Structure 1
C-alpha cells in the first residue's frame, strides 16, 4: 500500500512540473475535470444584473445580501461557462491572475484540498481567469492551471475585465460566496488557510454571513 501511495504522489508531482504541454480535460482525482487545453487567454463575457461594490475589507461588507451578477463566458478551449446565481445552488466564485504570486500559492493549496476531500457536491465552485498580462510571467494562464491539475471550471474574463469589475474585485486571489438564494454571503481576498477555505464552504451551504478573519497576503490590481 505504501508503494502505491508513493507512486501516486510521484505521478502527481510529475504532472505539476512537466511543463506547458500537460493535457487538459481529463478527470482529476477530486472528481472534477482538469482545466481544458486551449491557448485562449481572454474571451467574451456577458454580465446580467447589477455590479457589486468594490471589495475593501469593510465591516459589514456592503455586498452581503445583494444579488450576485450572472456571468456567461467561455473556457480556454471555447466551451461555454455559465455562472448563474439564480439556479438555486450555493457557489464560490474565485478570481485568479496568472502573474499573482499569491494565486500561484493558493491554486495548488486548493487543488490539494480538493484531491484530499473531493469536489463538494452541495456547493458549486467556479474560477475566473482575469487581468491577463503576457509580459508579467507565468503566461499563458491555461498552461499554468493545467500544470497544477486545477479541477475547477474556469471562465475567461474579457480584455476589459468585465467579470472582475461586476464582482467588485480589488485584489487577488479573490473569493465571492453566494448562497442558494443567489445573494452574496461573504467575500474574501488574499491567501486562505485551510480553515478559512472551509469556513467559506460552510457559509455557502448555510447562507449565513461569515468572516474569514485576517487573510494572507494579496496582490493589488495592477500591482
Structure 2
C-alpha cells in the first residue's frame, strides 16, 4: 500500500512538472508572438522607442553612428547603485565613440526615485523611461542591472551584469575595437 501511494505521488509530481513546462513554453510562445524573437547574441537587437528624462525620444534598432550600451536598471537595486559611478566614468571617457542609454524599469519604480538616483550619481548619459515595461519584456529582462552591448550594425554582441570598472572598460574596448574599420 505504501509503495502504491509513493508511486502515485511520483506520477502526480511528474504530471505537474509537465504542465508547468507546457505553461512556460506557452508563455515563451506568446511573448515571441507579441515582441518578436528574444534578444540574442549575434542577432539584431530588438527595436524600441522610449522617451528620456530630458524629454527627447530615443530609438534603438538598426545601424547607428556609434556602438551602444543599453543598461536596464532600477533605483531600488543595490547593484545598480554600485555600477552607476563606473558607467558614468566610462561614458565620460568614451562618449565620442560610444552611446550609453540607461533604461529605467519605470513600471516597477517611482519617477521621483529615478530622478533622485540620476541626481545622486550625476548621470550624464540619456536616461530612458520604460513606463509600461514593454522594452524590458522585449529584451526578456530577468534581473537588473543587465547591460546589452550593441555594435554599429545594430547587432547584440554581449550581455553583461555588474562588472568591476576594469572589466567593464575591457568589454567597452572590445566593443569599440570590433567596430574599427580596417585601414585601406
- C-alpha spacing 1:119/1:203, structure 2 compared with 1 (3 Å): closer
Structure 1 residue 102: Cα displacement: 0.6
Taking the TM superposition and a 5 Å limit, the aligned residue runs for 1:109-120 are: 109-115=86-92, 118-120=93-95
Match of 2:165 among 185, 194, 197: 194
Partners of 2:73 and 2:80 within 8 A in 1: yes
1:156 alignment partner in structure 2: 129
Partners of 1:98 and 1:139 within 8 A in 2: no
Taking the TM superposition and a 5 Å limit, the aligned residue runs for 1:12-23 are: none
Structure 1 residue 184: Cα displacement: 1.0
1:175 alignment partner in structure 2: 147
Distance 2:89 2:65 in 1: 28
Structure 1 residue 103: Cα displacement: 0.2
Partners of 2:73 and 2:146 within 8 A in 1: yes
Partners of 2:70 and 2:102 within 8 A in 1: yes
Distance 1:168 1:206 in 2: 27
2:176 aligned with 1:205? yes
Task: Kindly tell me the number of residue pairs found equivalent between the two proteins.
Answer: 145
Distance 1:52 1:110 in 2: 25
1:9 alignment partner in structure 2: none
Partners of 2:63 and 2:154 within 8 A in 1: yes
Distance 1:73 1:51 in 2: 19
Distance 1:158 1:124 in 2: 21
Match of 1:67 among 44, 47, 50: 44
Match of 1:76 among 40, 53, 56: 53
Which sections of structure 1, spanning at least 5 residues, go unmatched? 1-48, 54-62, 209-223
* Higher Cα radius of gyration: 2
- C-alpha spacing 1:51/1:146, structure 2 compared with 1 (3 Å): farther
Q: Which has the higher helix share?
A: 2
Match of 1:124 among 99, 102, 106: 99
1:50 alignment partner in structure 2: 36
1:169-209 superposed Cα distances (whole Å, 9 cap, x missing partner): 111111101112211111012x211122112212322338x
